[in-house]
Amino acid sequence: MSYCNIHIELLLIIGVSLLAATENPPHIIYIVADDLGWNDISWHDSSMITPNLQNIADESVILENFYVQSLCSPTRSSLMTGYYPSNIGSQHKVIDPNRPHGLPLGLTTLPEKLKETGYISYAVGKWHLGFCNKDYLPTSRGFDKFFGIYGGCHYYYNHSSSEHGTYKPGLYSGIDLHEESSNGIFKLKGAEYDGVYTSNLYRKKIAEYIAEHDPRKPMFFYVALQQTHSPVMVESEWSNLYPNVPDLVRRNYSGQVTLMDTMVGEVVNKLKEMEMYEDSLIIFHSDNGGDVKTYASNWPLRGDKGTYFEGGIKAIALIHGKGIRKTGYVNKGLFHVSDMFPTLIESVAGGQIADEQKISGSLYTKHNMTRKFNNPETCNPSKCLNFIHCNAHIYLNYVEIPAPEPNGTDIYLFNLDADPYEEVNIAASHPIIVKQLMDKLDKYRKTAWTFFPPADPACNPVNFEGFWSPGWC
């Protein structure tokens, strides 16, 4: 079987195959929000100020059953390769800046494939797919230009982050802000950058890359926003838009949402200004569910980022623009982020995927599974380097999910049709289904492999002029 059902379903939505063979494939603007909550968008909660996304959504297909992994690097690994993270060593937590790993080298990435059909590719924002060696960097993985951060997040004003995300005393800490182009790789420091809110740097750079692009060539632009990831810092012009939100952290978070929306609007305006908009396909989704600790809301879904309840793995998503046959509606078909790779290559860009990669990309009936993991600390370390051995969620005909909890004894089974908010665990009364799903999960576990080496002190930014940098693996 070379295509899974989801891919075919996306093909139905995207009618690009109808384009004349001589016509250029569309520009692809792929915008990924970071930790955006299910309820933090105007079409789910009208108190959220997201007019630009709402405008796009009104003429989009809103994908209301779009699944992702529950954390950033696994989702992005899948997006960039079309593989399930468990098959490419990415089914662990995120790629830590102190561990010598990344998206495994040798896998063909989305921009590399797009290059075969003439695309020029840009990335602005968060990479988080490895940087310990130059070979892992965005411009070594198919992008022509990159501006942003290598890790998962950083402080918005001083651009520093530590081994585990934002700054913690006692951990290695360094600046994470880089630019890559054919001229080389640059550590960004100086008055132009220091103290300047990161997203404002991105806004400028996104406009610059679009303006520089030769519109006769198809463009792939990966806009990997830091919004709405922690730290919940935002300039007051954004948080002030929410005077009625009593909690100040939530007010900042909401401001982040509106800043994100504004950035999307700016991308659209720039495309219009450059007369590229009519030829653009815009995709927008979150990389995982909202982080409730930093005041995101996934209401009414259960769970959040890092869990495989619906609130962790169901993302806000839409697809808009050139080639979409029917727009302005909500599509409830089941999608997984891994479907984007084959869809974009074959139905949008008019490229071809090697049989080997096709088969790998659809080894499993994708509707039927996605996986869960939790903090490795809560799992038996000998089993949990690849988190699929720890916790998993598996879907059968959209409705049932058993998942061992961290203590390895609890199984959850929900009927998502009848119980979309996962309130009633029906595992005990459905032992046969549970057994079927556990057997299936065991099969998937046998195909999993792991790439999660221990931390290496050679990562220390003091070795690299205070920057998180390649050169230590």
Ligand X SMILES: *[C@@H]1O[C@H](CO)[C@@H](O)[C@H](O)[C@H]1NC(C)=O
Active site residues: 72, 128
Site for ligand X in 166-185 (CB under 6 A): 167, 173
Nearer of residues 43 and 157 to ligand X, judged by Cβ? 157
CA neighbor of 16 nearest in space, from 347, 318, 286: 347
Stretch that binds ligand X, among 103-111, 269-277, 290-298, 397-405 (CB under 6 A): 397-405
Least separation in angstroms between residue 365's CB and ligand X is 5
DSSP-derived secondary structure letter, 405? -
Question: Of the two residues 75 and 173, which places its CB atom closer to ligand X in the complex?
Answer: 173
Structure tokens given for 196 = 């300047």
- Across 115-133, b (16+ Cβ under 10 Å) vs e yields beeebbbbbbbbbbbbbbb
By CB under 6 A, name the one of 196, 233, 241, 426 that touches ligand X.
233
Q: Are 103 and 129 in contact (CB under 8 A)?
A: yes
Nearest 10 degrees: Cα torsion 374, 377, 381, 384: 10
Between 12 and 105, name the residue whose CB sits nearer to ligand X.
12
Q: Distance between alpha carbon 275 and the CA centroid of its chain, in Å?
A: 28
**Alpha carbon separation from 65 to 267, 311, 315, 447 (Å, rounded):** 25, 12, 8, 26
- Taking the least distance from each CB to ligand X, the nearer of 43 and 364 is 364
Nearest distance in Å: CB 166, ligand X: 7
Q: Which stretch in 15-23, 199-207, 229-237, 448-456 sits in contact with ligand X by CB under 6 A?
A: 229-237
Cβ of residue 169: shortest distance to ligand X, in angstroms?
8
**54 sits near ligand X (criterion: CB under 6 A):** no
Torsion of CA 52, 58, 64, 68, to 10 degrees: -40
Binding ligand X (rule: CB under 6 A), the pick from 409, 423, 432, 457 is 409
The residues, any chain, with a CB within 8 Å of residue 77's CB and separated by 6 or more, are: 83, 85, 88, 90, 103, 129
Candidates 234, 263, 268, 319: give the one binding ligand X (CB under 6 A).
234
- What whole-number distance in Å separates Cα of residue 204 and Cα of residue 209? 9
Among 9, 45, 266, 405, binds ligand X (CB under 6 A): 405
| Among 155, 193, 421, 472, interactor with ligand X by CB under 6 A | 155
Considering the rule CB under 6 A, would residue 117 count as an interface residue with ligand X? no
The pair of structure tokens assigned to 30 is 């792929």
Q: Which one, 5 or 460, has the nearer CB to ligand X? A: 5
Our finding on whether 367 is near ligand X (CB under 6 A) is: yes
- Number of Cβ within a 10 Å radius of residue 169: 6
Among 42, 228, 230, 252, binds ligand X (CB under 6 A): 252
Largest CA distance in the chain: 64
Q: Name the residue whose CB lies closest to ligand X.
A: 233
Local structure of residue 82 (DSSP, 8 states): S
Nearer to ligand X, 64 or 405 (CB): 405
Position among 55, 181, 368, 460 found at the interface with ligand X (CB under 6 A):
368
- List strands edge to edge, sheet with 60-63: 184-187, 178-181, 145-149, 120-126, 219-224, 27-33, 280-286, 317-321, 60-63, 329-331
Figure out which of the listed residues 216, 407, 454, 457 binds ligand X, where binding follows CB under 6 A.
407
When binding is defined by CB under 6 A, the residue of 24, 365, 415, 463 that contacts ligand X is 365
Closer to ligand X at the Cβ: 65 or 121? 65
Residue 375, interface with ligand X (CB under 6 A)? no
Give the tokens for residue 167. Answer: 């700054």
Q: For binding to ligand X (CB under 6 A), which residues are involved?
A: 5, 155, 158, 160, 167, 173, 232-234, 239, 248-249, 252, 365, 367-368, 396-398, 405, 407, 409-410
